[in-house]
Amino acid sequence: MKRRSFIRNSASAALLTAMAGCDPSTRQTGDSPGAVTGKLPYLHQGRIEGYRDFNVIDRGLTINKIETFSTQNIALVRVTADSGDTGWGQISTYNSDIAATILHRNLAQIVLGMDPAAIDEIVDECIERNLKYPWSYVNRALGGIDTAIWDLYGQIRQKPVCELLGGSVTPVPVYGSSMSRTIKPDEEVARMTRIRDEMGIKAFKFRIGKEASRNGDAWENRTEDMISTVGGALSASCSLLADANSCYTPDRAIHYGRMLEEFGVQQFEEPCPYWETDWIREVTGALGMDVSGGEQDNDIARWRSMINSHTFDIIQPDPLYLGGITRTWRTALMASKVGIPCIPHSANHGMVTLFTLHLMRAIPNPGKYLEFSIEFEEGINHEVRSMYGPALEIEDGKLNLPAEPGWGVTVNPEWLLKADYQASELG
Q: Are 388 and 193 in contact (CB under 8 A)?
A: no
Distance between alpha carbon 133 and the CA centroid of its chain, in Å? 22
Binding site for Mg ion (CB under 5 A): 243
> Parallel, antiparallel, or unpaired: how do β-strands 63-70 and 75-81 relate?
antiparallel
Q: State in angstroms the smallest separation of the CB of 243 from Mg ion.
A: 5
- Whole-angstrom distance between the N-terminal and C-terminal Cα of the chain? 58
Q: State in angstroms the smallest separation of the CB of 133 from Mg ion.
A: 26
Q: Which helix (H) or strand (E) holds 258?
A: helix 250-262
Q: State in angstroms the smallest separation of the CB of 258 from Mg ion.
A: 21
Q: Compare residues 33 and 379 and give the one whose CB is closer to Mg ion.
A: 379
Q: State in angstroms the smallest separation of the CB of 287 from Mg ion.
A: 17
Q: State in angstroms the smallest separation of the CB of 341 from Mg ion.
A: 16
Closest CA to 231 of 195, 257, 269: 257
DSSP annotation of 27: B
Q: Compare residues 26 and 277 and give the one whose CB is closer to Mg ion.
A: 277
Q: Compare residues 243 and 290 and give the one whose CB is closer to Mg ion.
A: 243
Q: State in angstroms the smallest separation of the CB of 211 from Mg ion.
A: 9
- What residues contact residue 177 under an 8 Å CB cut-off, 6+ apart? 204, 205, 243, 347, 371, 372, 373, 374
Q: Compare residues 76 and 283 and give the one whose CB is closer to Mg ion.
A: 283
Half-sphere exposure of 263 (CA within 13 A, CB side): 21
Q: How far apart are CA 8 and CA 16, in angstroms?
A: 14
Q: Compare residues 205 and 337 and give the one whose CB is closer to Mg ion.
A: 205
200 beta partners: none
Q: Compare residues 97 and 297 and give the one whose CB is closer to Mg ion.
A: 297
Q: Compare residues 106 and 373 and give the one whose CB is closer to Mg ion.
A: 373
Q: State in angstroms the smallest separation of the CB of 371 from Mg ion.
A: 8
Q: State in angstroms the smallest separation of the CB of 411 from Mg ion.
A: 27
Q: State in angstroms the smallest separation of the CB of 313 from Mg ion.
A: 15
What three-state secondary structure class fits 215? Answer: coil
Cβ burial 153-162 (10 Å sphere, 16+ → b, else e) = bbbbbebbbb
Q: Are 237 and 196 in contact (CB under 8 A)?
A: yes
Q: Compare residues 52 and 181 and give the one whose CB is closer to Mg ion.
A: 181
Cβ burial 377-401 (10 Å sphere, 16+ → b, else e) = eeebbebbbebbeeebebeebbbbb
Q: Compare residues 145 and 335 and give the one whose CB is closer to Mg ion.
A: 335
Q: State in angstroms the smallest separation of the CB of 269 from Mg ion.
A: 5
Q: Compare residues 149 and 289 and give the one whose CB is closer to Mg ion.
A: 289
Q: How far apart are CA 144 and CA 137, in angstroms?
A: 11
Q: How far apart are CA 193 and CA 374, in angstroms?
A: 12
Measured at the CA of 347, the angle between CA 248 and CA 394, to 5 degrees, comes to: 130
Q: State in angstroms the smallest separation of the CB of 344 from Mg ion.
A: 12
Q: Compare residues 271 and 323 and give the one whose CB is closer to Mg ion.
A: 271
Residue number with the smallest Cβ distance to Mg ion? 243
- What residues contact residue 124 under an 8 Å CB cut-off, 6+ apart? 44, 45
Q: Which helix (H) or strand (E) holds 70?
A: strand 63-70
Q: Are 325 and 161 in contact (CB under 8 A)?
A: yes
